[in-house]
Amino acid sequence: MKTEEPKREVKLELPVAASGASEAPAASIDLDPTVGIAAAREAGVALTHPDRVVYPDAGLSKAQIVAYYARVADRMLPHLTRRPLSLVRHPPGRGTSSFFQKHATEGFPSAFKAVPIAEADGETADYMYVEGLDGVIAGVQMSTLEFHIWGSHIATLEKPDRIVFDLDPDEGLDFGRTRDAAREVKERLVALGLISFAMVTGGKGIHVVAPLTPRRAWPEIKEFCRGLAEAMAHDAPDQFTTNVRKASRGNRIFIDYLRNERGATAIVPYSTRARNQAACAIPVSWAELGTLTRSDTFSCAGAAARASQADPWSEYFEVKQAIGAAALRTLRRD
């Protein structure tokens, strides 16, 4: 893998809806494979077998997935670039088997950069990150179905700039229960001085994400998130659990705070998911969340259309906030 190569800036001219330069169809947008092929060419990525069907149930080819990412790049890249990554890959010939990859390996395109990171065992390993759309397209070429990010950038690795609460419902729970849980996390964060944003994950759950100024180190961040999750489980033990074991869910919602520790990752906004219908992880406004009945409601075509419309997270990068000492004391475990 190469680390010295300068970032390649990709500017792809995309066709717009006939009704106007900034408008898109309400439900979906056509993912033209020729757009994907052109995007790969401009990014300098050799896109082999562009017609290979990646999502059989959705009928989406590799070139169409690239076309999707070209459409949503302006929304996705600010959340993705220059963070250590984990990839969910599903190379051809593996049947239904996918795997996580977090370490840089030989053979990846040069759009993937390497950053050395000390691991818990004291050894140092090369992790991956990308700097632009070329890295995303290279990921698709390498059969990546999901992009997961650290909670920190490579420049401030030990001080996270986001926290995420992953609300994962037990099988069969009504989605309304998960929506209510997300709103409760939001309200508890507000009481502690933090603004948060909602994202449907493309699976079953909801992520509540709060941006941070990178000031506190990982152990304090994890302690804060654990404290909030355990307070919710303590106050409503029939509704919530912090036990990671699925067998212990018992018709409750698992509040996963463990994504807020060094080395843990969470799905990046606008990533596709490794699921049959190619649902995507999509940011939503709190008002819109109340109208949704599923977390996997946004297809690639629907998500691409939304990227041409108003951004429900438009204020995300304008928020300047940090976890205060009083908030830490409030949630500190005995």
> Per residue, what are the HEC states of 187-242?
HHHHHCCCCCEEEECCCCCEEEEEECCCCCCHHHHHHHHHHHHHHHHHHCCCCEEC
Q: For residue 334, what pLDDT is reported?
A: 44
Q: N- to C-terminal Cα distance for the chain?
A: 47
In tens, the pLDDT along 320-334 reads 999 999 999 998 764
Is residue 19 pLDDT above 90, yes or no?
no
Q: Percent of the chain having pLDDT more than 70?
A: 90
Instruction: Return the pLDDT at 276.
Output: 77
Report the chain's mean pLDDT, rounded to a whole number.
90
Within a 10 A sphere around the Cβ of 286, how many other Cβ atoms? 15
At 239, list the tokens. 């509704």
Q: Which helix (H) or strand (E) holds 169?
A: strand 162-169
pLDDT at residue 70 is higher than 50: yes
Q: Which two tokens stand for residue 198?
A: 């909602």
The amino acid that residue 17 corresponds to is A
Query: What's CA 320's distance to the chain center, in Å?
Result: 21
Report angle CA 83, 84, 90 to the nearest 5 degrees.
120
Q: Is the model's pLDDT at 95 over the cut of 60?
A: no
